[in-house]
Amino acid sequence: MSGEMIREYYTLQDGTKVPKLGFGCYNPGKLDFVAVLRNAVEAGYRYFDTASFYETERDLAKALRETGIPRQEVQIASKAWHDEMGYEETKAAFSRTLERLETDYLDFYMIHWPKPCEDDPDWKERDLQTWKALTELKKEGKIRHLGMSNFLPHHLNNIFENSDCVPEVDQLEMHIGYSQEAAREFCQQKDMLVQAWGPLGRGKVNDNPIINGMAKKYGKTFSQISLRFLIQKGVMPIPKSGSREHMLDNMRIFDFEISEEDMWMLTCMPQETWQGEHPDFAVPKMKSNFVQ
């Protein structure tokens, strides 16, 4: 392996160490994604975030096999999609995910969205049945850590109030211009690790003069400022990149610190770069309109 490795970690409730930077496995369909993932492993990434919906679980398995990296040296996360929610459905979906990933356990497994659709009157019970399946799989040793994706405080409270097994991770759209302060603070108060999907804002803030000014000030790139901003919030960014050069650049965020004044400036930027999916009223249904 020729990468630089990520040597800073967050610590979960049970003491497990998780790299402060992960690698996102959503493929828009234009890349040789096995090659992309091989490059990510060789660059030094050790946490990989995929999902059944991304259709990249097999790609990740092949990339890990081809690099020869031992299974215990990487952490793999996947997620159950809308049509995989429910007690029996989730257990079946999890088995398919294990098969595609060529592993007998997952480090993290998450419910991808709290609702299968905006107007589902039974979403709370569906979440609880899905969660029950996950907790049983964890007790069987097939999942090491349980989590959520796109769950806001009122979705999470349904789990906290009805289960003794609490989530350890919540993954949210989070970036400069959409920092979701209320949800982040709620999760961190519950001792949950917050992860950020879309941490670079899908390019919507690339031309922002404040961020670009800070990039010049700190001698860093736009992406490095964006990722460092999240790290200093105690958030784990999960960027993706098809370029090995960008993969390595994204890792070079542990040798500087954004000042308190600049952090406030970035936090208070107009919240105008939301991607368009919301857990309550803009739930994604098809790959064509999904950008996580």
Q: Which residues are catalytic?
A: 54
The SS3 call for residue 48 is strand
DSSP letter at 207? T
CA distances to 79, 160, 195, 236 from 192, in Å: 17, 12, 9, 11
pLDDT at 1: 43
pLDDT at 282: 84
- Beta bridge partners, 48, equal 23, 76
Is-contact 93 85, C-beta < 8 A? no
Residues 6+ apart with CB under 8 A from 245: none
CA dihedral 148, 152, 157, 159 (to 10 degrees): -20
| Rounded Cα–Cα distance for residues 289 and 207 (Å) | 24
Q: Which two tokens stand for residue 9?
A: 């970690």
Query: Given CA atoms 241, 20, 200, 194 in this order, what sign does their dihedral have?
Result: positive
CA distances to 11, 16, 23, 76, 177 from 32, in Å: 33, 32, 16, 20, 31
3-state helix vs strand vs coil in the chain, percent to 5: 40, 15, 40
| Rounded Cα–Cα distance for residues 56 and 100 (Å) | 9
Amino acid at 159: I
Report mean pLDDT in 10-residue bins for the chain, 292 residues: 75 97 90 95 97 97 98 98 96 98 98 93 97 98 98 98 96 95 98 97 78 95 96 97 95 97 95 86 66 50
pLDDT at 4: 67
pLDDT at 287: 54
pLDDT at 117: 87
Phi, psi (rounded to 5 degrees) for 22:
-110, -175
pLDDT at 286: 57
Beta-carbon-side half-sphere exposure of residue 175 (alpha carbons within 13 Å): 25
DSSP string covering 221-286, please?
-HHHHHHHHHHHTTEEE----S-HHHHHHHH--SS----HHHHHHHHTS------S-BTTTB---S
Beta-carbon-side half-sphere exposure of residue 139 (alpha carbons within 13 Å): 8
Amino acid at 127: D
